[in-house]
Every structure is written in structure tokens, then in C-alpha cells.
Amino acid sequence: MDANQAMDVNQTIVKILEDVGVDHVFGGSGQVNASMLLSLRDSEKIKTVIVRNEQAASFMACGYAMFSDKPGVCFATGGPGAFNLLSGMAVAYSDSLPVIAITGYTSRNQRGKGALNEATGLNRTPDSHLMFSATTKKSYIIEEANDTCSIMEEALNLAFEGRPGPVHIHIPKDVTVAKVTNYRPVTLSVKAVLPSPQQVEQAAALLADAINGRKNVMAVIGYGSIRSHAQKELLTLINDFKIPFSQTMDAKGYLPENHPLCLGVYGTSGDPSANDFFARAEVVLAIGNSFAQNATFAFKPDLFEGKKLIHVNIDANEIDKVYKADAGIVSDAKPALSMLTEKLRELNPAVLEPDLPKGKFHDSKPVLSGDKIFPGDLVRILSDNLPDNAIVMGDAGSHMLWLNCYLKLERNQRYHNPGTFGPMASHTNGAIGVKCAHPDKVVISGSGDGCYLMAGFELLTAVQYDIPVIWIIFNNGEFNVIKKFLLSLYNDHAFMQFKNPDFVKYAEACGADGYKVTRIGELQPALEQAMAKNKPCLIDVEVDPDTYPPFSLGRV
């Protein structure tokens, strides 16, 4: 539609999303938001993906935003449809993902009367505004059509401002079709969070003293470095001063894991090499991470005893939240690293000559025996056949840990786990959003059978919209990591096993390709065929249920 003509609120929102570069949105249909579907249908720039359950739309929006500079967008009708988005909002909020959720709302003249899907908080109706306010950076209600551009502009900027995160917009049913008479293009003016020179100087002095004193210095790289596009700056700092580094689960592969200074992943399921070096490190430079439970052995209280901590994070609240920093830098990772490297060069410390331990899981000897497949061998074969720039999404469960341990990412590949909120099925569905944002990359979801059964019906969505994700199911017929948890604490377990369908027949019934793998030698041909077909595929791999990934339970 010509922007000079009066558009309604639906058309205005679609136009704004087009203008900021959004090319996919994810949502469900319903009475309160039905009119928006017509505006989306008429868009020539946005592909609309209608899901089977709105929760999947929220996870897809997270995936779309995860490795891109575009906002993930999901939408739903008011009330029950909107509430189905809350899990994805919680993921985006805890994992710093710029997501816009748009949901219906009751018309003003019907509020408090018990209208269909009402969630205003009036007269014993649930309060969606309060619920979304608690799981996003801000929740808005567009009460007047001419507020649309201003609210959309503020919401989009807020999603990216500082530490990224989700925002939410209610649109009352009667407002959706009201005319916007003051349309204007929105302006995105997100400014980088820059460090103070004093903070950089303090950190540089601490680092320089440690390097000159031949102390063990280590960098721990987190997902904030990815969001900040700090790869070049990281490599410059690490290479110039020979600083060994590890990466968190959701930054795994950001710097190539065959780099001579790479120690692997540190933490509860970390590589022995990374954990060994951390134990004797005297100075730790943490960049863009928040010291999650899995990265700190369940918040081990004495983790930094006898060490100096330099913490770089875009969110001031993260500094000192878990561990007291000796030098904190509140900043985007990219400018902080650039300034830190420049200051270190001025101080001209000696170059480190670190003695690096060996012991990365993916370099250990394959098992390749037993009645069922060793999950680590499954992941090794995936690593060996993973194309350049591929993205692997590990859903919540033991398979996430096997992927973390045994994937070897060397060619600009990425791995991501469900983060601190950690819902099952988030990445089973989030992989669809990742593929929409990166159609030129191979996207693989590593899903447990438990995760897949929660959300695998979205395979129909991938088939309908021709979104060629490959799902690898780690099939052990149980909630494996929870069973291990119970066995370790009580030497007993309950309600851990379940029955699975024939996943190959299910895939074929949905219109996808399915492969059954019962022997390790069958996996590589299945992977090669799935990647060559460039269509939604499901690979069902029977893995050993009595083998558990390396992890420390830590404190209960």
C-alpha cells in the first residue's frame, strides 16, 4: 500500500517491520488478531509462518534473532494465544534476544465484561499486561491508532538498547483496523554502550601486571561477544598477548576450536583442558558472560578464590552479581576489547608463554562399540560432516551436553543451548527461526526424544513453508539427565521412561524425510542425504540410555 494513503494499525505495523528489515514473522491465528493476517498476507517483503502452537512461534522468533541483527517477531491472539508466547519471552529476556511480541487485546468498550479471550485483569480475568511486563523489558498497549508509530519506534529501539531483550505490544481488537493519519518512518538509533576510560585503564593495568609477572591469564568468552560482533577484537587481543581462552556453551565455535590457544569449553560439562587451566589461572578475563549455573559448577562460592576477575558486560547488573570483580567494565564487548587492547599496547607488557594442558572431549578416542550408539560418537560424526558456517541448536537435556562436549567447531560454525531459563523444546522449534534468518546455512537441531515429543508437530510447519531444518533425535526412551540426577542423589528414579512413536513413519506422514540409525556406520550416509535434499528431515538415532554426559551435579 502507498504510505501516503491512510493505513490502519495492522498495515502500519507491517510497513514498519518491512522498513526495519524483518522478512519473517511467526504466529498463530485467532479472533482478536485475525485482521492482522490480512495485512501480513499482502506484504511482499515478509513471509508469515503460522505455527501449530503459539509457543513455537515465540521460540522461532528467538531463533530468528539469535545470530542476526534483526528483531524476531511473533504474534498471537489475545488471552490464551498470547499466554502461549510467554515461554519464548522468558528465553529472550534471560538470553538477551531482541524479540517483539504482538498480541490482541480486548476492545475498550468490552473490558471487564468477560469478553472472549479477555485478559485485562478486570473482574476476575487474567492480567496479560502484568504478565508480559514481568517477562519483557516493557509491555505496551496501543490505545489510539495515531500512537502506533511512536510505540513501535520506542519498542524496536528498546529491544536493542543496552542489553537486548524482548518487548511486547497489545493491540485492542477495535484499534487494529483504526486509521493511522500520522504515519511516519520509524528511526532506529541504538547506540553502543561504551566503557569508561577509567574502567579500561584499571583492567589494563591489572592484565599488564599479570602478564609481566608471568601469571596464568585466561579469557572466558560468552554470547555477549557474538551479539557485539567482537570476533576480530577478541582474536587481536588473544593473539597479540597469547592469552589462552575458553568459550561458554552458547559462544562455542565463535573463535575456532582448533586455535592453538583454545582450551575448549569451561564449566560443569567443560573440557578437562579448560577446567584444569582455570583451576591454576590467576587472572580471568570474562567477556560477555553472566556466570550461569552450568558455567560455575552451580555457583561454586570459592570459584575465584586466589584469582583476579576482570568482567566485561553490557549490563551493569551483571558485574558483581555472582562473583566480585576486581575490575569491571560496563560496555559492549567490541569497543571494550578494542580500548583494552590499545591500552595494553601502550603499557607494552611481555607476551605470555602459556603451558596449555591437553584434554578436549572431541579429541578423545571414539567408543564405537556396544549395542547402542555412544552419544559422543554421534556428535563426532556430526562434527566431521558439518559444513562451514553451519548452526547447531542443542535443546535442553543430556543431548545438549553431549553436543557441548563433542562438537568441534572450526569453520565459523555456531552452537547454542537453551540458556538459563532452559525450556525443553525451545531449540527444537527455535531452529526453524534460525533457518529463516540464515537460509544459506545448514541448521541442525539436536533434540532429545523428550524434547521432540513436546514440539515435534511443528515439523508440519517446516514442511508447509519449506524450511529445511534437520532434526537429529537422541533417542533413548527416557529423561536421561534427570534420571542420572536422581540416581546420583538417591540411587533411585521414577517416571523417567516413555514410549516413542516410529519417528520415520511420523516424518513421512508429515511430508518430511525420515532416517533410522541403529548402528554408528549408518549415521554419516543419513546426514549426507539429509543435507543434500535441502528439505525438512528427521534422523532418529538410538543412543545408549545407560551412558551419561560428563557433568558435575554441584550443589542441590
Let me know: does 253 contact 67? Beta carbons within 8 Å.
no
| pLDDT confidence of residue 30 | 83
pLDDT at 3 over 60: no
* Dihedrals phi, psi of 214, to nearest 5 degrees: 55, 35
Q: What is the mean pLDDT of residues 440-444?
A: 97
362-542 has the same fold as 197-347: yes
pLDDT of residue 95: 95
Q: What average pLDDT score do residues 8-36 get?
A: 92
Given a cut of 90, whether residue 35 has pLDDT beyond it is no
Summarize pLDDT for 276-319 with one digit per residue, the tens: 999 999 999 999 999 998 889 889 999 999 999 999 999 999 99
> What is the model's pLDDT at position 297?
87
Distance CA 399, CA 377 (A): 12
Q: pLDDT by residue (tens digit) across 376-401? A: 999 999 999 999 999 999 998 888 99
Name the residue type at position 101. A
Cβ 412 vs Cβ 388: under 8 Å: yes
For 277-301, give the DSSP string. HHHH-SEEEEES----GGGTTTT-T
**Total residues belonging to the chain:** 556
Stronger pLDDT, 548 or 551, i.e. the higher one? 548
How many whole angstroms separate alpha carbon 441 and alpha carbon 90?
Answer: 27
Q: Which CATH architecture has domain 197-347?
A: 3-Layer(aba) Sandwich (3.40)
Whose cell is 538470553? That residue is 95
Per-residue confidence (pLDDT) for residue 443, from 0 to 100? 98
Which residue do the cell numbers 561504551 mark? 194
Cell output for 214 = 608471568
Phi-psi region of 251 (alpha: psi -120 to 50; beta: other; left: phi over 0): alpha
Question: Which letter, b or e, does each residue of 26-49 get, where b requires 16 or more Cβ atoms within 10 Å of its Cβ?
Answer: bbbebebbebbbebbeebeebebb
Q: What is the Cα 400 distance to its own chain's centre?
A: 13
Residue matched to cell numbers 564405537: 368
**CATH 3.40.50.970 is the classification of domain 7-180:** yes
Place of cell 532416517: 515
Report whether 112 contacts 76 (CB < 8 A): no
State how far the alpha carbon of 514 is from the alpha carbons of 339, 431, 442, 535, 538, in Å. 51, 17, 17, 11, 5
The answer, yes or no, to whether residue 553 has pLDDT greater than 50, is no
- Alpha carbons within 13 angstroms on the beta-carbon side of residue 501 total 13
Average pLDDT for the chain: 93
Q: Where are the alpha helices (DSSP H) in 475-516?
A: 480-490, 503-510
The contacts of residue 260 (CB under 8 Å, 6+ apart) are none
How much is the average pLDDT of 70-78? Answer: 96
Asked if 409 contacts 403 with a C-beta cutoff of 8 angstroms, the reply is no
- Predicted local distance difference test score (pLDDT) of residue 552: 62
Q: Phi, psi at residue 64, to the nearest 5°?
A: -60, -40
Is residue 370 predicted with pLDDT exceeding 90?
no
Exposed/middle/buried for 316, CB within 10 Å: 0-12, 13-18, 19+?
A: middle
- For the beta carbon of residue 52, count every other beta carbon within 10 angstroms: 16
* pLDDT tier at 4, thresholds 50, 70, 90: low
Please give the CATH topology (third level) of the domain spanning 362-542. Rossmann fold (3.40.50)
* Confidence category of residue 1, pLDDT binned at 50, 70, 90: very low
Mean pLDDT, residues 80-85: 95
- Mean pLDDT value of segment 249-269: 94
Out of 57-71, 315-329, 469-483, which region has the weakest mean confidence (pLDDT)?
Answer: 469-483
pLDDT band at 2 (very low <50, low <70, confident <90, very high): low
What is the side-by-side strand order in the sheet with 513-517? 414-416, 391-394, 443-448, 470-475, 537-542, 513-517
Domain ranges of the chain: 7-180, 197-347, 362-542
pLDDT for the residue 486: 87
Give the burial class of 13: count Cβ atoms within 10 A of its Cβ; 0-12 exposed, 13-18 middle, 19 or more buried. buried
Phi, psi values for residue 489, rounded to 5°: -90, -40
Residue 241 is which amino acid?
F
Q: pLDDT for 180-191, tens place per residue?
A: 999 999 999 998
Contacts of 365 (CB under 8 A, 6+ apart): none
